[in-house]
Chain A
Amino acid sequence: MTNERYDAVVIGAGMSGLAAGIRLAQFDKRVVVLDRHSLWGGLNSFYKRGGRRFDTGLHALTNWVPATEKSTPLPKLLRQLRIPREELQLAEQSHSIVKVGAVSLEFGNGIGRLEASVAHAFPREIDGFRRLVSAIQAHDPFSDVVDASSARVRLGEWLRDPLLIECLIVPVAFYGSAREDEVEWDLFVVLFRSMFLEGLARPMGGIKTLLDALKKRFLDCGGILRMRSGVSRIVRDAHGAACGVQLDDGELLACERVLSSAGRVETQRLCDVPPQPAEVGQLSFCETTSVLSQPTRSLGHTATMVFFSTSEHFAYRRPAGLIDTTSGVVCASDNYAHHEFGEAGIVRVTCLANHAVWSGLDDEAYAAAKTQVAQEMLAAAGRVALDPRPWTSAFDMFTPKTIHRYTGHVNGAVYGSPVKARDGSIGVDKLHLIGTDQGTLGIIGSLLSGVTAANRHILMANQR
């Protein structure tokens, strides 16, 4: 091992890793954040193609609240990271839509628009819906209590119409459920709050604005960021506790603690702990990005996000074939409040896909499948929102294979393992999971995960 001994090595320069790194560096801990790739951001990153920047991951930042609100997750998080809110230049969504079967609901930031929409589409359910909202408002968003019961079943306590229940499940599942055909109740509560009680926004300039703010803050605090530094192994001492990492090129880094955002199964592998089959995530996606020659709203499509399921029985599971276009998300990344800074229209379509099928194709078949599936996805988008093809000036697409290549997630499972580790433990001392597989969701959830782990396992531990 080299002479340098870190207080913490953080695996992964995504949201959770950078947030943990900032907290530690802020209080003079020796911390290095490592990432195998040349770009930071992890699941929420960006890349350039044809001179144009494409975002991955970010459709919307959840938890938007007015700047005067101080007690909700977004302002608390920014305070912990000491990043001024103005740096993110958040623009609110216009409004979003949920379409299930023949029914359609609208929501904006704050619960008002959704409530009015439910009252209109489901007049007999509105009293139950209001009671549901009150129950969720009373829930502490920072609570550690885990309630993994079925959200569909629990929603039946307030709502009778299964179609309305499905309307609430579809956006929440797509926003972050790692479990097939199921959304756990506490996850539902957190996401309902984040998306419907609070709201959606986008940093001006997309994900890069947020990533730049995080990276700058981390480096300003004295943190060390090493890109192209993949971890091949977590080193353990004679008692089995984590005490360092080995990089792909063989270099060893010694440390007091390891925080890993690599994922549950992926981190187990780094420790030579065999994963259980039930711990392996199955849910992956294909996503298309179409850059349009004119703003999306000028084409008559004004919604920011459209979450859809053409069936009233939403199937949130790995499809048997390449893709399932009966459900998905259509996002117009330019339908946010400040479009006037000259961005082109951007339409992204996301649908469930099967990693095993995609990765079983040879190069030629893979390329052909991409072309074919893209057409199916864009046609599906046209049926529920807008078909961007007639106005497309640039196009790109990723598949489960791409996700696997860039995130290391087994099966290209975007939302990781269905088995979350709330306490961050996978049974190895001095090693803590952060990010997706610690059980938090979305960008704000991932950032909070990093902050909480740094506070709990390192900063507070040092105070004792």
Chain B
Amino acid sequence: MTSEEIILAIKDIIQTIAPDEDLSELKTDVRLRDQIELDSMDFLDIVMELRKRYGVQVPEEDYKELATLDGCVAYLTPHMQGKTLKVGV
């Protein structure tokens, strides 16, 4: 999966969790929780959806790596190799 696809994958997961948030203006280098209303329970859901959709395991100590979209790309790139983007599930 490319960096752009990983960002799409994450945004689609966030949209599933928080359907009423507007994600069109999200900056990739600013913490997600500073741009939209996301708490630790929501981060658990992001992680659970990554596992459900892509079989990627993110241990709790690595949650912090997912704080920004850029962070998600850096952390997830090796895990998402060869995976197919699933959106709107």
Contacts and interface: CB of A to CB of B under 8 A. Distances in A.
Contacts of B42: 79
Interface string B27-66: 0000000000101011011011001100001111000000
A460 B41 contact: no
B37 A70 contact: yes
State the main secondary structure of chain B at its contact with A: helix
A459 interface: yes
Nearest to B20: A70
B7 interface: no
B19 A84 contact: yes
A100 to B, nearest CB: 38
A455 B44 contact: yes
Nearest to B16: A82
A405 interface: no
A463 B52 contact: no
Interface string A67-110: 00011000010011010100000000000000000000000000
B89 to A, nearest CB: 12
B58 A463 contact: yes
B60 A464 contact: yes
B17 interface: yes
Interface in A433-464: 451, 455, 459-460, 463-464
A27 interface: yes
State the main secondary structure of chain A at its contact with B: helix
Contacts of B58: 463
B18 interface: yes
Contacts of B44: 455, 459-460
Given A27-B48, A27-B52, A463 B60 contact: yes
Given A28-B52, A455-B44, A464 B37 contact: no
B17 A79 contact: yes
Contacts of A84: 19
B48 A459 contact: yes
Contacts of B48: 26-27, 459
Contact of B45 (A28, A71, A80, A464): A80
Contact of A71 (B16, B37, B51, B52): B37
A71 B18 CA distance: 12
A76 B41 contact: yes
B79 to A, nearest CB: 14
Contacts of A71: 37, 39
Interface in A1-49: 26-28
Contacts of A76: 39, 41
Interface of A: 26-28, 70-71, 76, 79-80, 82, 84, 451, 455, 459-460, 463-464
Interface of B: 16-19, 37, 39, 41-42, 44-45, 47-48, 51-52, 57-60
Given A76-B39, A463-B60, 12 more contacts: A26-B48, A27-B48, A27-B51, A27-B52, A28-B52, A79-B42, A80-B45, A82-B16, A82-B17, A460-B44, A463-B47, A463-B58
27 contacts: A26-B48, A27-B48, A27-B51, A27-B52, A70-B37, A71-B39, A76-B41, A79-B17, A79-B18, A79-B42, A80-B41, A80-B45, A82-B16, A84-B19, A451-B41, A455-B41, A455-B44, A459-B44, A460-B44, A460-B60, A463-B47, A463-B51, A463-B58, A463-B59, A463-B60, A464-B59, A464-B60
| 7 A-B pairs with the lowest CB-CB distances in the bound complex, closest first | A70-B37, A27-B48, A463-B60, A27-B52, A455-B44, A80-B41, A28-B52
